[in-house]
């Protein structure tokens, strides 16, 4: 059974608390990107691109029962690491919980304050897009259960 959204967030906060240096954080984020499950090549197209980032980000979502599985990729490794963190937290979670997730870990690990507005716009777009999928799938599940 996959831990819940907050449990994973706390796990990540715990992991980041070991780093004093931004370099270590970045290395960790880059590694997170490397371990991100690959997105199918067919989804690396304009339809799956998230706008608002300087680098390209592709995101795919599929419903598996009541849970949403995300896969993602980016052509920049730091961005890939950031979306990797989001995938780690949100992928495999129930659609209804994704919609309402409070992603406090972003602030806690210093991602928001350490990324300039430009780039956090990219981050904000990623979160928005993932929640949008959650919203759409949640609606679909509910309408099928009526």
Partner 1 sequence: MIEPAEIVKRAFDIRQIRTDFPILNTTMNGKPLVFLDSAASSQKPLAVIDAMDEYYKTGHANVHRGVYQLSQKATDQFEQSRRTVQHFLNAEHDHEIIFVRGTTEGINLVASSYGDKFVRKGDEIIVSGLEHHSNIVPWLMLCERKGAVLKVIPVLDNGELDMNVYAQLLNEKVQIVAVNHISNALGTINPVEKIIGMAHEHGIPVLIDGAQATPHMEVDVQALDADFYVFSGHKVFGPTGIGILYGKEKWLNEMPPYQGGGEMISRVSFEKTTYNELPFKFEAGTPDIAGVIGLGAAIEYLQGIDMEAVRDYEHQLLIYATEQLSQIDGIRFIGTAAEKASVVSFLIDGLHPYDVGAILDKLGIAVRTGHHCAQPLMDRFGIPGTVRASMAFYNTFEEINALVNGVKKAIDLLK
Backbone φ and ψ for 81, nearest 5 degrees, come out as: -65, -40
Q: How many residues bind partner 1 (CB under 8 A)?
A: 17
* 9, 71, 79, 93: which one binds partner 1 (CB under 8 A): 79
Task: Confirm or reject binding of residue 22 to partner 1 (CB under 8 A).
Answer: yes
Of the candidates 82, 29, 28, 26, which has an alpha carbon nearest to the alpha carbon of residue 54? Answer: 82
> Using CB atoms within 10 A of its CB, is residue 83 exposed (0-12), middle (13-18) or buried (19+)?
buried
Cβ neighbours of 26 (radius 10 Å): 15
Q: Which of residues 97-126 bind partner 1 (CB under 8 A)?
A: 114-116, 119
**Can 53 be counted among the known catalytic residues?**
yes
* 1, 18, 20, 23: which one binds partner 1 (CB under 8 A): 23
User: What residues make contact with partner 1 under the rule CB under 8 A?
Assistant: 22-23, 26-27, 30, 54-56, 75-79, 114-116, 119
């Amino acid at each position: 059974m996959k831990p819940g959204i907050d449990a994973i967030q706390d796990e990540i906060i715990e992991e980041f608390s070991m780093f004093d240096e931004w370099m270590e954080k970045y290395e960790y984020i880059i590694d997170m990107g490397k371990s991100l499950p690959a997105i199918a090549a067919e989804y690396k197209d304009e339809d799956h691109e998230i706008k608002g980032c300087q680098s390209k980000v592709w995101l795919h979502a599929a419903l598996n029962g009541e849970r949403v599985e995300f896969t993602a990729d980016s052509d920049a490794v730091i961005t890939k690491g950031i979306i990797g963190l989001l995938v780690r937290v949100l992928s495999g979670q129930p659609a209804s919980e994704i919609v309402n997730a409070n992603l406090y870990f972003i602030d806690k690990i210093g991602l928001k304050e350490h990324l300039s507005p430009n780039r956090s716009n990219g981050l904000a777009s990623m979160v928005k897009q993932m929640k949008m999928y959650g919203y759409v799938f949640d609606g679909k599940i509910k309408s099928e259960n009526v």
